[in-house]
Amino acid sequence: MKKFTVVAAMATALLGSTAAMAAELEVTHWWTSAGEAAAIAEFAKVFEEQTGNTWVDSALAGSGTGANPVIISRIIGGDPMGATQMNTGRDAEELIQAGLMRDLTDVVADLNIEGFYVDPSLLEPCKFEGGLYCLPINIHSWDWLWLSTAAYEKIGQPVPTNWDEYVASWPALQEADILPFGLATGWPISGVPGVLMSGLGGSDLVLAINRDKDVEAVRGPEFRKVAEAMDSLRQVISPDMMVPSFGDVGTQLLEGTAAGNIHGDWLQGDLQVAGGVPGENYECLPALGLGDQLTGGGDSFYFPVLPEGTDPAVLEAQTQLARILISPEAQLKFNMVKGSMPIRTDIDLAAANPCMQKALGLLKNGLLPSGDFALSSDTQQQMQDLNIEFLDDDSITVDDYIERYASIIESAE
C-alpha cells in the first residue's frame, strides 16, 4: 500500500511537471467557413498531439479585409498573438520592417526549406535584410471556374469545358431561372478580374500589370477583354440574389440554383464538407479552361515578437508550431481538407482529388504573381472598392473602369 502511494505520488508529480511545461498559444486566422474550419483543425490536432501544448483558436470573420486590421492593430498595440495566418504576399511587410515579427531563420535552419518548397519564390515576401519572417503553408489560386452539374442537367446541356462555352450557355440558364453566376457579397468579387486577366489576357498581361505595374498594359486590347467580361458578368449578377458567403455559393452550385462561380480553390474545401464530389456534382476548370498557368499565392504563418517576460514555454511553442506547420504530416492533412496545394515536393499526393490533380499538373509551368503577392494592401483595397462599385453601378462604363484601374496601377508601389 505504501509502495503504491509513493508511485502514485511520483506520477502525480510528473504530471504536474508536464502540465507546468505545457503552454497555451493563441493563433489568429480568418478561416471561418465549414471547409476552412475543418482544415485549420488539422493543424491544431497535430500541434497538440506532438507537443502537449494547447492551441487557442482565435478565428476572425471578414476574410483578409476584415481580419487584417484587427491582427495588425493588436501587434502594433502591444497585444500580439502567438501566431497568425495572413496572405502570402505584402500584407505584413510594414510589421516585418518595424521589427514586430519574429525572425525564423534559426528555427528552420536545419530543415532545408529552400530545397523542398514547390516554388521557392513564395518565400521572397517573407525575407527582409537576411531574415525569414514567415512560412508559406500552402499554394492557393483564385484561377478557378466552378460549374454545377445539376444546373446543366436541368437545361439539358453538357457542362462547359471553358469560359467561352460557359458564357454561351447563359441565355439557356436564364430561361430556366438558374443564376448563370453565383456571387457572395463583399470581397469575393475582388479575385474575379485577376482570373479573367490570366485566362483571357494571358500570362504576359498578368506579369505586365501585377509585376511591372505597366499602366499602358491596362489601357491595351488584352485588358479591355477583361473589362468587357466584367461588364458581361454584371449583366447576369442579380444583387438581390447575392448570398452572404462563398460557402453559400457552393451550396447554390450543388443545388443547381446557380450554374457557375469564379473563386479560389478554397471553395473546394466547402464543397467537400457539403458532400460534393468533383466530376459528379461539380466541375472545376483551372485558368477558365483556357490558360496553362495559375496565379499563385496562398497563406503564410507569422510569429509576432512577444513582450519581454513572456513564459519561455510560449516561445518554445512558437518554435514548435513553426516547424510543425511545414512538416510532411501536417502539410498533407491540412491541404487535403483545405483544397490548396502543399508547399512540399516530397509528400505523396496520390489521394488528391481531381481538382488538385489539375492544379498540380499546371505547377510545372510556374506560378504567376497574384495581386496579394505583388500589390500592397492599400492597392488591393482600392481595386476591391472599384470592382464592387463597378458591379453595383451600371453608369460606370467599361472605359471608366479601365481608366480608374490604370490610375490605381499607376500609383501602386
pLDDT tens for each residue of 240-299: 889 999 999 999 999 999 999 999 998 998 998 899 999 999 999 999 999 999 988 889
What average pLDDT does the segment 65-69 reach? 83
pLDDT tens for each residue of 126-160: 999 999 999 999 998 999 999 999 999 999 999 99
3-state secondary structure the chain: CHHHHHHHHHHHHHHHHHHHHCCEEEEEECCCCHHHHHHHHHHHHHHHHHHCCEEEEEECCCHHHHHHHHHHHHHHCCCCCCEEEEECCCCCHHHHHCCCECCCCCCCCCCCHHHHECCHHHHHHHEECCEECCEECCECCCCEEEEEHHHHHHCCCCCCCCHHHHHHCHHHHHHCCCECCCCECCHHHHHHHHHHHHHHHCHHHHHHHHHCCCHHHHCCHHHHHHHHHHHHHHHHCCHHHCECCHHHHHHHHHHCCECEEECCCCHHHHHHHCCCCECCCEEEEEHHHCCCCEEECCEEEECECCCCCCCHHHHHHHHHHHHHHCCHHHHHHHHHHHCCECCECCCCCCCCCHHHHHHHHHHCCCEEECHHHHCCHHHHHHHHHHHHHHHHCCCCCHHHHHHHHHHHHHHCC
pLDDT tens for each residue of 205-229: 999 999 999 999 999 999 999 999 9
Predicted pLDDT at 398: 98
pTM of the model: 0.81
Residue 364 predicted with pLDDT over 90: no
Residue 9 predicted with pLDDT over 70: no
